[in-house]
Structures are given as C-alpha cells and as structure tokens.
Chains A and B, each alone.
Chain A
Amino acid sequence: MQANNRLFSILVPVISVLLGLIAGAIIMLISGHNPIAGYAALWRGAFGDAYTIGETIRRTTPYILSGLAIAFAFRANLFNIGAEGQVIVGWLAAVWVGLAFDAPMYIHLPLALLAAWVAGALWGFIPGLLKAKLGVHEVIVTIMMNYIALYSTNEIIRSILTNNQTTTEHIPASASLASGYLQSITMFSRMHYGILIALFAAVVMWFLIERTTIGYELKAVGFNPHASRYAGMNVSKNIIWSMVIAGGFGGLAGAMEGLGTYGTITVLASFSNIGFDGIAVALLGANNPFGVIISALLFGALKEGAGEMPTGAGVPTELVDIIIALIIFFVASSYIIRWAITRFKKEGK
C-alpha cells in the first residue's frame, strides 16, 4: 500500500500534465493551428536560448514561493487561497522598505525581505486567527483579504509612495536582488538572486515539516484536530502558525517581484495571479517542497513559453491558461485517475 501510494503520487501529476498537453494539442487542432508548431514555439519560448532560460527561471522564482505558501498551509489541511493577497502586500512592503531609507546592502536587503515576510505573515495571521478562535472558514476570509490587499496597496502606492503616480521610483541597488552576473550569463534577462532564496525556502519548508516538532504537530492537526487535542497539542496555535508561515512564503514571493524582477511596484488593475497560479503549483507538486520546485518550473516554462506562441505559431497565449486549468482539474479529480489505474491493473492481471 505504501509503495502503491508513492507510485500514485508520482503517476497522478505526470498523467495530469500529459492529459493537459494532449487537450491543448486537440484545442490547437480544432482551432486550426498546428500543434507541433505550437509546442515547438512554446519550447523555444521557454528554453530556446540563454535569455529565455533566464526569463523562465525568473518567472519560476515567485511561483516556487507562492507554491510553498499554499503547500505549507495544505499540510495543516488549510486552503490558503489568500496567497495572492500575501504576494501583493509582500511586494508592497519590500518596495516600501527599499525606498524608505538608505543603508548598506547587508542591512537594507535583509530588512526589505523581512518586511515582505512580515507583511505576508500578517495577511496570513488574520485568517489563521479567525479560523483557530472562531472556526471561520479560511477560504472565504483569504479571498476577502486578497481584495483588501489589492485595493489598499493601490491606494498606498498612489497617495503615500508617490504623488498620484501609478508606479513608484526604482529601489536603490542596496535593496535590489538584481544580479549583474546572472544577467550577463543569460543575455541580459531579468533573472536575479531570488531563485537562491526560493530554493532555500523550499529546503526550510522541508526541514520544518519533516524534522521539527512544529512540523510534526502541524501535520497531526491537519490529519485529525481532535486526536491532536487529546494528545495535548495546542490546535489553535498550530493553525495560526501554519497560516503565518504560509503567509510569510507568500510575502517573499512578492518580494521577488518587488526587489528582483521589477524593482518597483505598480498600481494593479487586477491580481498579479502569482498567488492563484501558486495553487496549481502546490497541487501538482503534491504539497511536497521539492515537488513544488519541479511544478513551479513547469508552470514557469509554460507561462514564459506562451509568449512565443502567437509569433511562432499564431496560437494565442491563453492556450496555456486553458492547459493549466485542465491540469488542475485532472489533479483535483485524481480519484478518477486512481480508479482508472487500478482498474487497468486489474484487467492486466
């Protein structure tokens, strides 16, 4: 059973991705495009040369962190749809600290990252507290928190960080993650040092979950809050902590955009989607930190490669959004995939 489960947990995502890509090919065929040309363009757009590889990694970076934000909460059986809001407030906080003062890099940059972490953690703390103390469902609260983040952030950019402008000034180099070295080896893509932070964060999550008492308790509470309570664990403390840490990851994802890719924050007409895409990343990565890295790379490559599809094959970029949505469906409906695999095996015998 154990081996079987492990097999399924790898097979289900792989089959889901394959089904999603096949469905994408069918859609291209129906809409009169050549699927091979389409996917070739997608590949060129994601891994064609050093520049696109750099951009793919740049896009993967926040996905890893927003994926962790959702995966970590999932481990405690909490659904953190609020990653989007956490990303936005983290982005804002990072840029705010970046612009607010001058300091040597070894103080300024960590402080900006810390601010992003705290802002995201605060955005996770509120739903966590409401869930733990009042039993309010975290999904609804986090959705509402997303909008509060979006509108408040826009207002702060307009009236506090700038004088009715839509974009802030560029942060000074002392708070920036931009890397001349990484840019030079990738033909001046926007790749930045954030990828190291994202990979490190994945290791931190693995360590927290697998090697510490906190992680053990979080998982226990996720499996069965009643049993955990009888075992003497503080259930509400664990719920709050898991949302706070998850929110912190989300905030860092925002810092990647604020300190790395853009160096500014702009008034957002709608969501950045980094947090929502993180849901797909976490699901496909089976809520495992290393799974999250792989699936973040997949989605980063899909999204980055999509940019090449209109010019390379005449396919609208939104095809990739459809493929991603279908992959989520297939992973979510893993019950039916499991059923099909089991059925198939039985017949094979």
Chain B
Amino acid sequence: MIDILNSVIPTALFFSAPLIFTALGGVFSERSGVVNIGLEGLMVMGAFVGVVFNLTFADVFGAWTPWISVLVAAIIGGIFSIIHAVASVSFRAEQVVSGVAINFLALGIGVFLTKQWYDKGQTDMVSQPFSSTNIPVLSHIPVIGKMFFQGVYTSSYVAIILAFVAWYVLYKTSFGLRLRAVGEHPMAADTNGINVTKMRYTAVIISGVLGGIGGSVFALTIAANFSATTIVGQGFMSLAAVIFGKWHPLGAMGAALFFGFAQSLSIVSAGIPYLSNVPQVILLIAPYVLTILALAGFIGRAEAPKANGVPYIKGSR
C-alpha cells in the first residue's frame, strides 16, 4: 500500500500543479463576474512563451531559466488576457464567445509563430526543464517524507502555497471583498464607490497571469516542448476544477489535486492491483463526469457567483 502511495502521490502532485495555478486564475476571474472559458487559451499562451523563452535564453540564465521562463509567461499571459477583458468588460461581448475566441487565438498565434520561428510544427525539447528534487529536511521524515517530499517538483508546492495566498487575498483583504462584491452584485458595489470596470479588468488579468504560469509549468515539467497538441484540455479541466471547487480557491485546489490524482491513476494504474483491471477510459472521463454530478447537486450544490457572465452596464437595472 505504501509503495503504491509512493508512486501515485508524487505523480498526482506533478499533474496537479498546472491545474491548480490555472484554476486559481479562473476563481479570480469568475468571482469578479467574468466567465473565463479562455483558460485553455491562456495556458496555450503560457506554454508557448515558456518554451520559447526557455529555448532562447537557456544559455544565459542556466539553472534559473525555467523560473524566469514562468515569470515571462505570466507577464505575457496577463497582457494577452487583456483582450478578453476588453471584449467582455468594455465591449460587453458575450463572455463565453470571447473566451472561445481567446482559445482559437492563442493556439493560432502560438503555432503560427512556432512555424515562423522554427520552420516546423513543434519546437525542440527544452534543455532546462523543471527537475524533481528532494525537499530539504522534510524529505527525511519517515514514511511521509518519501511519499510527499522526495522526487517532487517545487512548482507543485508553490501552487499549493499560492492557493492559500489566493484564499487570504479573496477572503481576508478589502481587495478580495470588493472583487467578490463586483461579481455578486455589481450595482451595489458601484453604489459603494467600487470601480466595477477596474476590478473586473484586474481579476481577468490575474487569471491571465495565473493561466500563463499554469501553461508554462505544464510545458516545462510535463510536455517539454510546444506544439498544437501540448495543451489539450488542461485549461478546461482547470475550469472544471473551479466549478467542482465551488468557486473557492481552496476548493479549486482540492479539485485540481483530485483531478491530478485521477490522471496519475490512469497512468500508473497498470502497476497497481485492483486498478489494473479498471479500463483506463473510466479514469480519463472521471473528472468530467464528477463535475457534471457536482453541478447537478449530487455532490453538494455548486452555486456560481450571481453576476457571473453578465456585463455591467451603468444605470441599467
């Protein structure tokens, strides 16, 4: 049993990290009332920028390259998400449609530039990906040490810590209160002097930053290169995590960990008794089936922020 956990838990953490980052971004955006179907596209952008930066500057930054790549991907992700903010906040576009367009656009730009710069459909493998480490001190704890802290990726723990930071920001600061108010009842928030447009722009940009981080972490830990099929559904799975986690940062993190766990099971299940007989497809579709069940109220009712998806028009009731 311990052996199984030793192989499953690091894999689960490894697969969850990108989902956690992106899902947290989704929580910020949706809590402010902007639906973000574009998470997938933001991850694509992050993966593309992360890989290209890594390939280009690996010689300059050495071992620091993956971290700086993630940082750059975060910045570009934030800038890219402004398109979604402009369309859905200022131009009052249907937010789902704008999100779909973000997904198309990110993939189009990513692959277009890849072909333009590398003359082929996919980039080379990055030379400086994230590598697994043993976390000092903690990895020496008996039993748990081996399970959670040996051969893991630091990015996974950064993601988990960030979820707590996000929870603190959303629930313990006035900024968070304002952000949630704008998503629940923008008119009341506006009456109280909160700038609805500014709050929503900020929230969408945060989601772009986190989506960019999520995509680049995925590319630099799991995929190691960029092509049209690097990000296939991780963004939508993160969106599922947002909803399964009931639009709460810690809930989203838990859901992302769970989905990561399901994915890791589908990969290592062959070596596990009992599970080797379960068809892989069951584990692959589990996150999506569970999300539908959660929405339907079989696993606790998931209630969206009230003004989610509704453009705010001053003076309308």
A140 and B243 contact, CB distance less than 8 A? yes
**B107 contacts the other chain (Cβ, under 8 Å)?**
yes
Q: Chain B: interface secondary structure?
A: helix
Q: Please name the residue on chain A nearest to B297 by beta carbon.
A: A134
Within 8 A of B (CB), among A126-166: 126, 130, 134, 136-137, 139-141, 143-148, 151-152, 154-155, 159
Counting contact residues on chain B (CB < 8 A from A), the size range is 35 or more
Report A277-313 residues with CB < 8 Å from chain B CB.
279-280, 283
- Of residues 284 to 317 in B, which have CB atoms within 8 Å of A's CB atoms? 284-285, 288-289, 291-292, 295-297, 304
Complex Cα distance, B309 from A79, in Å, reads 12
Return the contact of A328 from the options B101, B279, B289, B297 (Cβ within 8 A).
B101
B73 proximal to A (CB < 8 A): no
Residues A318 and B289 in contact, CB atoms below 8 Å apart: no
- Residues of chain B within 8 A of A234, CB atoms compared: none
* A48: B residues at CB distance < 8 A: none
Contact B281 A151 (CB under 8 A): yes
Interface locus among A95-103, A184-192, A208-216, A330-338: A330-338
B194 interface residue (CB < 8 Å to A)? no
B239 contacts across to A, CB distance below 8 A: 140, 143
Q: Does chain B have a CB within 8 A of A201?
A: no
User: How many residues of chain A get a CB closer than 8 Å to chain B's CBs?
Assistant: 47
Q: Spot the interface stretch: A39-47, A319-327, A341-349.
A: A319-327
Q: A144 touches which one: B240, B279, B280, B284 (CB < 8 A)?
A: B240
* Nearest B-chain residue to A339, judged by Cβ: B91
B104 touches A325 (CB 8 A): yes
Q: Which residues of B contact A331 (CB under 8 A)?
A: 97
| Nearest chain B CB to A279 CB, angstrom units | 5
In this assembly, does B177 line the interface, its C-beta being within 8 Å of a C-beta of chain A? no
Q: Is the CB of A144 within 8 A of B101?
A: no
Q: How far is the CA of A79 from the CA of B304 in the complex (A)?
A: 17
Indicate if the CB atoms of B295 and A141 lie closer than 8 Å.
yes
Q: Chain B: which residue is nearest A151 at the CB level? A: B284
**Cα–Cα, bound, A144→B101 (Å):** 19
Query: Complex formed: what's the CA distance from A20 to B271 in Å?
Result: 51
A333 pairs with B279, CB closer than 8 A: no
Inter-subunit contact B108/A137 (CB<8 Å): no
A residues near B296, Cβ cutoff 8 Å: 130, 134, 136
The digit string for B85-121, where 1 denotes a CB below 8 A from any CB of A, is: 0010011111011101111110111011001100000
Kindly state whether residue A5 has any CB partner on chain B within 8 Å: no
Apart from A280-B104, A328-B101, what 7 extra A-B contacts exist at CB < 8 Å?
Answer: A27-B112, A31-B112, A144-B291, A155-B280, A328-B97, A328-B100, A331-B97
Top-3 shortest CB links A-B: A321-B108, A325-B104, A325-B105
